Amino acid sequence: MNRLAHGGGHAEGAPGSYVGSLLYDVAPEHVPALVVLGLLPLVAVLVHRLPAALPPVPWLGRRRALPAERALAVWALVASAAVHVALVPTHGLSGWSFAFALDAGLLGWAAHRLVTGRRRAGLTAALVLGGSLLGLLAGLAAGHMPDQVAMACKVVEVTGLLALGAPIGAGRARRVLTTSGVAAGTALVVVGVWALGLSAGHGDDGDGHHAGSPALGVAMPAGDGEDPTVAQTAAAEDLYRSTVRSLARYADPAAAVAAGYKATGIRGRDFHADNPAYTKDDATLDPDRPETLVYAVRDDGTPVLLGAMYQAQGLRTHGPAVGGPLTTWHAHEQVCFGLLPPSLAGLTSPLGVCPAGSVTVALTNEMIHVWTVPGAPQRFGDLDEGWLKQHVLAVPAP
Amino acid sequence: MTTTPTVPLAPPPTAPLPLAGPAPSDRMRVVRVLLLLELVVALVTTLEALIVAAVGFGTPVPAVLTGAVAVVLAVAARDAGRGTPGAVRRRWLVLAVQVVFLAAAGVDVVIAMFEGVAPLLLPALVRIALPATVLVLLRGER
């Protein structure tokens, strides 16, 4: 299991900063594409509003004569092609550059066919756009997480597909089928992003393309990656043993509830029960007053205490990493927080939005997990899910 | 004296009901595509919210709310392709949804600024630029 998943290990970056998932960032090699994406609306305004300022290019004249949906699709094709062209120089002589150049060529060719009114130009353009959209799955399969520019490009391509597939003159069946199909394709891409994003350390394949990134929603404080000292190892051991001793009294959730933890209605494999009194006190990393307990439900329906989660107070306040790299704290980024009722509602979608009725918390305070369940292969950071299922959840309650 | 045969009265001429109005303008055609894009985003987000609720994080309320937004967007996209009086009257629904999107995005931007985190590109595109474009196009349509 990759240690970058949920704390543990280290993330490279400027000291004091956080390193999150690439999905919520812009890769440096994608900045030229971002500039292109930002300039295209200005070009569109120029073409539509000030045609006299442009040279009399027949291609532009033909494009203006297209129905509105086709004209929009041409813009989507041109935008996506321009973004792909801008990606070529920054990726050097690599397979990525070749793929981007090929995609750009196909997109531009499809746009030209649409403008010049070639036979089956709409179908060709839809196939090229669909191929480019689903082409992201190939990158995901290779372990490469898309960034904000890549996902913005996909949104543009989805717009083009909808414009081509569901024009006003089309029959009801075609419109419904097209919209459903585009939604299904988009969902497929989004599911792929989640699948890769929730397995940590994606892109760490040594080819320099978006390498090494924490799991989606996890923001790691940048560190230097040094090995722990003897004193740090001893401090980590002391923290672990103190926490084990303290948590023994909360094996029964009823005792936790009596102590003020919100440990009712335990469900799932990762149930976090906060103690509001402890989250508001001034103590940090106090084994007698852990801010949160983590429970899971065994296959036989009984709850089991997995460990504790300590929280640092205040944003950008670094927790005391007493064990150095052994006890790395982490924060969460782009968390969707539901307001009705107040509860976690997931993470910001790869499409850039939270569900309705929720707000986006861009960054949380820092926290660290200590796993006290007997035999846990990890004491801090992320607990191996396979081990948890096999050795804890599948085992009947004693 | 001759009498003219009475001719039964013909039914009064009636104008055909305006089942279909004038063809939608180019602006409305673009608005319709943008509403379909918002619909696709809402559908995918509903699916995500359902999965989040199913695995035990949070409640199903966000999924239900997002699903309701998807239904509204589907109706709005259908209406945008029609010029019928009912569809025109329901245009306020489109405006309301876009204003809600913009307001929610505004809250997110304020939270991000308060936390010292730069707002992301994609939310700016999907939750600010997209609804703002729809509003501008609809405004020009009046």
Q: Which of 51-70 (B) contact A at CB < 8 A? A: 52, 55-59, 61-63, 65-66, 68-69
Angle between helices A148-165 and A121-141 (to 10 degrees): 150
A303 has pLDDT over 90: yes
Amino acid at A17: S
Instruction: Spell out the domain ranges in chain A.
Output: 21-197, 218-330+366-393
pLDDT tens sequence across A232-245: 999 999 999 999 99
pLDDT score for A101: 96
Q: 3-state class of B45 per DSSP?
A: helix
What pLDDT is stored for residue B21 in this prediction?
58
Kindly state the average pLDDT of the residues B53-57: 80
Q: Which residues of A touch B123 (CB under 8 A)?
A: 348, 352-353, 360
Q: Which of A37-46, A117-126, A241-250 has the highest mean pLDDT?
A: A241-250
| Reported ipTM exceeds the 0.90 cut | no
Q: Do A354 and B108 touch (CB under 8 A)?
A: yes
DSSP A89-158: GGG-SSHHHHHHHHHHHHHHHHHHHHHTT-TTHHHHHHHHHHHHHHHHHHHHHTT----HHHHHHHHHHH
3-state secondary structure of A166: coil
* Residue A232: predicted pLDDT: 94
Distance from CA of B11 to the nearest CA of A (A): 35
Q: What's the pLDDT band for A283 if we cut at 50, 70, 90?
A: confident
Q: Do A151 and B122 touch (CB under 8 A)?
A: yes
Contact at 8 Å (CB) between A171 and B142? no
Better-scored residue on pLDDT, B101 or B139: B101
Q: For residue A190, what pLDDT band results from cuts at 50, 70 and 90?
A: very high
User: Which amino acid belongs to residue A297?
Assistant: V
| Contact between A187 and B36 using a beta-carbon 8 Å cutoff | no
Q: Do B45 and A349 touch (CB under 8 A)?
A: yes
Whether B43 has its CB under 8 Å from any CB of chain A: the answer is: yes
Between A168, A179, A334, which is nearest B81 by CB? A168
Q: pLDDT tens, A35-90?
A: 999 999 888 888 877 777 777 777 777 777 788 999 999 999 999 999 999 999 99
What is the torsion angle, in degrees rounded to the nearest 10, for the CA atoms of residue A263, residue A266, residue A268 and residue A270? Answer: 10
Chain A residues whose CB is inside 8 A of the B41 CB are 155, 186, 349, 351, 353
Higher local confidence (pLDDT), A51 or B35: B35
Asked if residue B86 has pLDDT above 80, the reply is no
The highest-confidence range among A35-49, A325-339, B4-18, by mean pLDDT, is A325-339
pLDDT computed for residue A285 by the predictor: 92
The backbone torsions φ and ψ at residue A272, rounded to the nearest 5 degrees and listed phi first, read: -100, 120
Compute the mean pLDDT over every residue in chain A, rounded to the nearest whole number. Answer: 88
pLDDT at A7: 43
Q: Which residues of A touch B79 (CB under 8 A)?
A: none
> Looking at CA atoms only, how far is residue A137 from chain B in angstroms?
16
* B33: chain A residues, CB-CB within 8 Å: 69, 72, 159, 162-163, 166
- Distance CA(B52)–CA(B63), nearest Å, equals 9
Distance from CA of A318 to the nearest CA of B (A): 15
Give the nearest chain B residue to A362 (CA atoms): B112
Contacts with A149 from chain B: Cβ below 8 Å = 121
pLDDT exceeds cutoff 50 at A4: no
Predicted confidence band at B83 (pLDDT cuts at 50, 70, 90)? low
Q: Which of B40, B117, B125 sits opposite A362 (nearest CB)?
A: B117
A207 or A138, which is more confident:
A138
What number is the average pLDDT over the span B100-124?
Answer: 93
Taking the C-alpha atoms of residue B66 and residue A358, their distance in angstroms, rounded to an integer, is: 10
Asked if residue A256 lies in contact with residue A250, where contact means CB atoms within 8 angstroms, the answer is yes
Q: Do B46 and A355 touch (CB under 8 A)?
A: yes
The whole-number pLDDT of residue A206 equals: 38
The answer to whether A148 contacts B52, with C-beta atoms less than 8 Å apart, is no
Q: What pLDDT sits at residue B12? A: 52
Q: How far is CA A22 from CA A35, A141, A158, A219, B109, in A?
A: 18, 16, 21, 11, 20
Rounded to an integer, the average pLDDT of A105-126 is 93
Chain B residue closest in CA terms to A66: B26
CB contact under 8 Å between A359 and B127, yes or no, is no
Q: Looking at chain A, which residue has its C-alpha nearest residue B79? A: A168
CA distance B10 to chain A (A): 38
Nearest to A313 by CA among A246, A380, A367, A236: A367
Which of B30, B44, B104 is facing A187, going by the closest CB pair? B44
Q: What is the pLDDT of residue A24?
A: 94
* A-proximal residues of B, 101-140, CB under 8 Å: 104, 107-108, 111-112, 115-117, 120-123, 125-127
Segment among A148-157, B2-11, B48-57 with least mean pLDDT: B2-11
Nearest-CA distance A268 → chain B (Å): 5
Cβ of A362 within 8 Å of Cβ of B39? The answer is no
> What one-letter code names the amino acid at A269?
R
Comparing alpha-carbon positions, the chain B residue that sits nearest to A170 is B81
In this structure, how many other beta carbons lie within 10 angstroms of the beta carbon of residue A83? 26
- Give the pLDDT confidence score for residue A224 in this predicted structure: 62
The answer, yes or no, to whether residue A208 has pLDDT greater than 70, is no
What confidence score (pLDDT) does residue A222 get?
76
